[in-house]
Structure 1
Amino acid sequence: MTWAPARTRPDSRADSRAPRGIGAAILRWAGRLISGAVVLGLVLLLGTAVRVWQVARIEDYTRADAIVVLGAAQYSGTPSSVFEARLYQAEQLYEQGVSDLVITVGGKQEGDLYTEAASGKMYLTDAGLPADAVLAVETGSDTLRSIEAVAAAMKERGLESAALVSDPWHSLRTRTMARDAGLDAWTAPTRTGPAVYTRESQAHGIARETAALLWYQLTHFSADDFSYTAGR
């Protein structure tokens, strides 16, 4: 009887250990990447919200070629309370000598008799501004299109600098868009109206404008779905 060495069976546990180890490593790295992306997203979101809040506090009354009033809702030629607050601020800036020209901007919804720009001009002329001191740019259904229309109208007239009037939380987005359109722009927002009445309206405005600004910066398209009614 001859002796033969016993056959050894492959260690199946060792063979299966390696694939499981690689899979666990991949899962760990995937988890880290996802966690990092979430953290970066939160930092971007929070940083943008802080900038919206910071710029909302700026009031720059530097002399400009034009005071630009961003449109808001109007009813048969009567500005809404949001729009009226902006127009009143523009009137005050004009009286303080910030510019000899006020530009109102905004089109109209289906069925409206007046454009936002026209109703804004009527408000200002009724308040005592000369008719030739107010230019109505009667187009624009959102902030981006309104800014682009204003920029085109100003360039046609050789005007370059603009003091932008809107709600405080709307300031950063309007300024960003205006500068992208080639204007030398800064902000002098209203401090009255529904957009600033309560802490809730302020928080709502900051949240909406943060989303709208991020959307614009990512796509350079209009942010109608995000912009609140007061800011359009």
Structure 2
Amino acid sequence: MMRFAIKSVGIIVALFLLLMNYAAFSIWSFSNENQLVKTDAAVVLGAAIWDGTPSPVFAERINHAIWLYQHDYVNFLIFTGGKGDGEQYSEAEVARQYAIEQGIESEAILTEEVSTITEENLEQALLVSAQEPIESYAIVSDPLHMKRAMMMADDLGMEAHSSPTQTSAYTSWSSQAPFLARETLFYVGYMLVKPFR
């Protein structure tokens, strides 16, 4: 009985590691899937702000969305993200101000300021865009975040296209490896709980 239990545990561990490796490969392979098609709006997934300004990671997401707008790939920018601990402003409001300073018209910007995680970013983006002529979306985030974000967007019924930042702050392997490990855990966790939602 003990040998059977040990063998069973070993099989479970091996299967879990196989799943993790497959997920990591899938995330990495999808990371540069840049679907440059015309959509109604770019949804910029929230990221950290530092003392009222976008962090380098967030700034690159905003910059990419601005590029999409300026090159007529989208008609609206939707900035997402609430207030972090100790922050005076929400991520979305900081992004909005940053975009306006780059010459984007305020009428082309929508914001939601309550979300704290990726799935909430997307859910709230759907809500704030409901009163506008918006039916299709370009999802903007860092390349290694795109696989999970696109799966969530699909589960929400969004007509969504992947548009990762082309100038991510995560460029070296030393910065990419922890991000990939984190994303792999979150991606596998989401897949495992999804059937029970």
Fold agreement, TM-score > 0.5: yes
TM-superposed deviation, 1:156: 4.2
CA RMSD of aligned residues (A): 1.7
Give the one of 140, 146, 169 matched to 2:144. 169
TM-superposed deviation, 1:138: 1.6
Q: Normalising by structure 2, what TM-score?
A: 0.90
In structure 2, C-alpha distance between the alignment counterparts of 1:95 and 1:131, rounded to whole Å: 14
Tell me if 1:117 matches 2:72. no
In structure 2, C-alpha distance between the alignment counterparts of 1:72 and 1:165, rounded to whole Å: 11
In structure 1, C-alpha distance between the alignment counterparts of 2:9 and 2:52, rounded to whole Å: 52
SS in structure 2 of the partner of residue 162 of structure 1: strand
Give the one of 67, 73, 86 matched to 2:42. 67
Larger Rg belongs to: 1
In structure 2, C-alpha distance between the alignment counterparts of 1:215 and 1:38, rounded to whole Å: 15
CA-to-aligned-CA distance 1:97-149 (integer Å, 9 cap, x gap): 11111100111124322111111111111111111111111221121221211
Q: Choose between structure 1 and 2 for higher RCO, CA contacts under 8 A separated by at least 6 residues.
A: 2
The answer for the alignment partner of 1:106 in structure 2 is 81
TM-superposed deviation, 1:60: 0.8
Residue type matched to 2:191 in 1?
Answer: Q
The answer for the alignment partner of 1:17 in structure 2 is none
How does 1:147-166 map onto structure 2 within 5 Å? Answer: 147-157=122-132, 159-166=134-141
The answer for the alignment partner of 1:186 in structure 2 is 161
The answer for the alignment partner of 2:119 in structure 1 is 144
In structure 1, C-alpha distance between the alignment counterparts of 2:112 and 2:23, rounded to whole Å: 30
Tell me if 1:207 matches 2:189. no
How does 1:20-99 map onto structure 2 within 5 Å? Answer: 26-99=1-74
> Which segment drifts farther, 153-162 or 174-183?
153-162
Which sections of structure 1, spanning at least 5 residues, go unmatched? 1-25, 221-232
In structure 2, C-alpha distance between the alignment counterparts of 1:32 and 1:182, rounded to whole Å: 41
Which sections of structure 2, spanning at least 5 residues, go unmatched? none
CA-to-aligned-CA distance 1:53-87 (integer Å, 9 cap, x gap): 01112111111121011111123431111111111
The number of residue pairs the alignment matches comes to 194
Residue type matched to 2:189 in 1?
Answer: W
- Misfit runs of 4+, over 3 Å: 26-32, 155-158
Q: Report sequence identity in percent.
A: 35
In structure 1, C-alpha distance between the alignment counterparts of 2:152 and 2:129, rounded to whole Å: 15
TM-superposed deviation, 1:153: 2.0
